[in-house]
Structure 1
Amino acid sequence: MARLRRDPFFVQAVRSTAAATLSYVVALRLSSEPVPLTAPLTALLVVQVTVYSTLTTSLRRVNSVVVGVLIAIAFSVLVGLSWWSLALIILASLVVGRFVKVEEFVPEVAISAMLVLGVTQVADTAWDRVLETLIGAVVGMLFNLLLVPPVWVDTAGESIDDLARRMRRLTLDVAEEFAGAPTVERAAARLYEARQLDDDVADVDAALRTAEDSLRFNPRVKEGLLHRIVLRTGLDTLEICAVVLRVLTRTLTDLAKQRAGEELLPRPVSLALQETARHTGDAFVSYAVLVTTPGSAAAEEAETRLAGDLRTARASRDRTAGLLLALALREPGHWQLYGAMLAEIDRVLDELAPEHRGRRLMEELDRHTRERRERRRRLVTRYGRRRRAGAERG
Structure 2
Amino acid sequence: MPEVIVTVRSLVRRRREPVVVQAFRSTAAAVVSYVVALWLSSEPAPLTAPLTALLVVQVTLYTTLTTGIRRVNSVVAGVLVAIGFSALVGLTWWSLGLVILTSLVVGHLVRVDEFVPEVAISAMLVLGVTQVAATAWDRVLETLIGAVVGLLFNLFLAPPVWVAPASEAITSLAGRMRDLLVHIGDELDQHTPVEQAAARLHEARRLDNDIAHVDSALRQAEDSLRLNPRVKEALLFRLVLRTGLDTLEICAVVLRVCCRTLTDLATTRTDGPLFPEHVAQALRELFVHMGIALENFAVLITAQITASAQEAELRLAQELAAARISRDRAAHLLQEEARSRPETWQLYGALLTEADRVLDELGVEKRSERLVEELDRHSRTARARRPQLQRLWRGRAS
* Fold agreement, TM-score > 0.5: yes
CA contact (8 A) 2:181 2:291 kept: yes
CA–CA separation in structure 1 for the residues paired with 2:37 and 2:174: 49
Letter in 1 for 2:71: R
Within a 5 Å distance, the mapping from 1:289-308 to structure 2 comes to 289-294=299-304, 298-308=308-318
The counterpart of 2:34, out of the listed 19, 24, 31, is 24
The corresponding residue for 2:387 is 377
Deviation at 1:249, TM superposition (A): 1.2
CA–CA separation in structure 2 for the residues paired with 1:380 and 1:84: 57
Letter in 1 for 2:259: T
The counterpart of 1:258, out of the listed 260, 263, 268, is 268
The alpha-carbon distance between structure 1 residues 356 and 42, as it changes in their structure 2 partners (threshold 3 A), is same
CA contact (8 A) 1:6 1:152 kept: no
The counterpart of 1:214, out of the listed 209, 224, 241, is 224
The corresponding residue for 2:248 is 238
Deviation at 1:368, TM superposition (A): 0.5
SS in 2 for 1:370: helix
Residues 1:360 and 2:390 are matched in the alignment? no
Residues 1:185 and 2:213 are matched in the alignment? no
Residues 1:199 and 2:218 are matched in the alignment? no
Residues 1:326 and 2:336 are matched in the alignment? yes
Deviation at 1:5, TM superposition (A): 4.0
Unaligned runs of 5+ residues in structure 2 are: 1-9, 393-398
Deviation at 1:296, TM superposition (A): 10
CA contact (8 A) 2:38 2:44 kept: yes
The counterpart of 1:35, out of the listed 45, 54, 63, is 45
The corresponding residue for 2:120 is 110
The counterpart of 2:357, out of the listed 347, 363, 366, is 347
Identity of aligned residues (%): 67
Deviation at 1:3, TM superposition (A): 7.1
Letter in 2 for 1:48: Q
Please report the TM-score for the alignment, with normalisation by the length of structure 2.
Answer: 0.92
Deviation at 1:7, TM superposition (A): 4.5
Deviation at 1:24, TM superposition (A): 1.5
CA contact (8 A) 2:61 2:228 kept: yes
Deviation at 1:245, TM superposition (A): 0.8
CA–CA separation in structure 2 for the residues paired with 1:309 and 1:116: 60
CA contact (8 A) 2:86 2:133 kept: no
The alpha-carbon distance between structure 1 residues 3 and 378, as it changes in their structure 2 partners (threshold 3 A), is farther
The corresponding residue for 1:227 is 237
SS in 2 for 1:294: helix
CA contact (8 A) 1:177 1:187 kept: no
Deviation at 1:12, TM superposition (A): 2.5
CA contact (8 A) 2:87 2:132 kept: no
CA contact (8 A) 2:383 2:390 kept: no
Letter in 2 for 1:177: E
Letter in 1 for 2:91: L
Deviation at 1:374, TM superposition (A): 1.1
Deviation at 1:75, TM superposition (A): 0.9
CA–CA separation in structure 2 for the residues paired with 1:320 and 1:103: 56
Letter in 1 for 2:98: L
SS in 2 for 1:13: helix
CA contact (8 A) 1:39 1:136 kept: yes
Deviations 1:289-343 (A, max 9, x none): 1111127973222222211111110010000011111111111111121111111
CA–CA separation in structure 1 for the residues paired with 2:50 and 2:100: 22
Residues 1:79 and 2:84 are matched in the alignment? no
CA–CA separation in structure 2 for the residues paired with 1:106 and 1:184: 50
Deviation at 1:378, TM superposition (A): 4.9
CA–CA separation in structure 1 for the residues paired with 2:129 and 2:326: 70
Point out the more displaced range, 186-195 or 125-134: 186-195
The corresponding residue for 1:57 is 67
The corresponding residue for 2:3 is none
CA contact (8 A) 1:178 1:252 kept: no
The corresponding residue for 2:327 is 317
The alpha-carbon distance between structure 1 residues 106 and 286, as it changes in their structure 2 partners (threshold 3 A), is same
Letter in 1 for 2:345: W
CA contact (8 A) 2:36 2:145 kept: yes
The corresponding residue for 2:154 is 144
Deviation at 1:154, TM superposition (A): 2.2
Letter in 2 for 1:224: A
Deviations 1:105-130 (A, max 9, x none): 00000111111111111463201000
The alpha-carbon distance between structure 1 residues 348 and 139, as it changes in their structure 2 partners (threshold 3 A), is same
The alpha-carbon distance between structure 1 residues 377 and 330, as it changes in their structure 2 partners (threshold 3 A), is same
Point out the more displaced range, 7-16 or 258-267: 7-16
CA contact (8 A) 1:310 1:349 kept: yes
CA–CA separation in structure 2 for the residues paired with 1:167 and 1:223: 30
Deviation at 1:241, TM superposition (A): 0.4
CA contact (8 A) 1:251 1:337 kept: yes
The counterpart of 2:182, out of the listed 146, 162, 172, is 172
Deviation at 1:91, TM superposition (A): 1.0
Point out the more displaced range, 255-264 or 105-114: 255-264
